[in-house]
Amino acid sequence: MPNTDFDAIVPMLCVTLAGLVTMLAEAFRRPGERMPIGWLGILGLAGAAASTAVLWNRNAQGFGVIAADNFGLFVTLVLVVVGVLTIMFSSSVVTRDAIPAGEYYSLVLFALVGMIMMGTATDLLVIFIGLEILSLAVYVLTGIRRDTPEGTEAAFKYFLLGAFSSAFFLYGIALTYGITGSTRLAEVGSYLSAQSMTGNPMILMALGLLLVGFAFKISAVPFHMWTPDAYQGAPAIVTGFMSTGVKVAAFAAFARVFLSSFEPFKSDWTPLVAALAALTMILGTVVGVAQDSLKRMLGYSSIAHGGYLLVALVAANPLGKQAILFYLLSYAVTNLAAFGVIALLGTRDQGNDRLADYAGLWHTHPHLAALMTVSLLSLGGLPPTAGFVAKYYIFIAAVSAGHYGLAIIGVLTSVVSVFFYLRVVVNMYMAEPAGAVPPKVSGLGMAALTIAIIAIFILGILPTPVIDLAGKSIGTIF
């Protein structure tokens, strides 16, 4: 068996081993003993990043179902960034909330394994396995604070609706196999290319079921109903993790399946995805304006950002394809920074995620107010941040592909979204502090925030190297 079979799964193996080691470390930890378990996870993620760099341009294939092509490796690197920032933000939160460190970090790492598997899989069944690995870990993370009824309710809702989405996706896989005789994406694509003129209703049904399964995971309207409640009930840093990591993995698999295997039926699925994109951008923005909880507001913001990514998927031109990868990276560091601030300002008994809790933050924590301002402005798409460049490329891609209506809706919803982001900024700088002073922020948490904000500015001011890298990554499979 060629060595490339094993080479292709080395990044996943590094993260898997790190997850197993963190569980063992928790088992051997004495009561009251402090152990840097989180650093074990960062070490595993560093190994995944190093192996990803070694595999670059080698196009290694793993057992016929995993592709370590540049597209999958780019997604893996984005997920490594998400994992490292999540662990750094979690350091003080785990201690403060008395969360079992080994259990928490191993769940984060196993969720990342599922995400990486989804981003690199070239078989529908392997994509499904990756989806279930990440979903089960995230369900438990959502309700990891078992003493809070909100967390338990959020995990239960997420689990039930996640099971529905998995069922839709699995039925889509079954129909695809029944029609094509394979679940390998390359073989499915070859068969569908030969059948592209037949108008087979069974193919369209399989396509629709797969689309519904992906739409649930990316929180596209009308399959978004789990998102606000799950985001509000979960610990803030878990919310940041699942709002970024799950979206990265789901969109990577979505793009790989629909822009390669189902590309011959693009004229059939494009109108559906375009309608989902428009509805998602509008609802996420309009309902987000009415929110008083920052976690719910950012939840609806996440829904809207899923709509922007769908616009790039609809455009499906070279610029739109590379814009997907750039947007995923930009959104990941930006949203994690915003949720990181919420997590660091919370206490064990008080989440401090209401708008009123941020009144006068500039007077009590000026550094946090400044960092939160940058992340919110980037989410709103204002220059010179990563969010501005990411949206610019997506809208240009839509215009180039002739989807003027989607581009106009995207620009208008972006303008409206600036209102609810600036509302938080105005409250931080213009209002007087109310209630207790927020707690002191840990040094590791501040380091993570600083890294994220620097990345936001670098991607906003010097985006060309990353855009070019994304373009070359997309070129390996589309």
Mean pLDDT in the chain? 90
pTM of the predicted protein model = 0.95
CA–CA dist 143, 150 (Å, integer)? 8
Q: pLDDT-based confidence at 129, cuts 50/70/90?
A: very high
Helices (H) and strands (E) in the chain, counts: 20, 2
Q: What is the pLDDT of residues 424-443, one digit of tens each?
A: 999 999 888 766 556 677 77
- 441: Cβ contacts below 8 Å, ≥ 6 apart: 92, 344, 345, 365, 368
Contact 401, 323 (CB under 8 A): no
CA–CA dist 72, 280 (Å, integer)? 26
**Max CA separation in the chain (angstroms):** 67
Strand-pair partners of 354 = 293
Parent domain of 86: 3-474
Running DSSP on this structure, what letter comes out for residue 62?
A: E
CA atoms lying within 13 Å on the CB side of residue 32: 0
Q: How many domains does the chain have?
A: 1
Lowest-pLDDT choice from 95-104, 180-189, 349-358:
349-358
Q: Is the pLDDT of residue 349 over 80?
A: no
pLDDT confidence of residue 435:
62
Amino acid type, 223: F
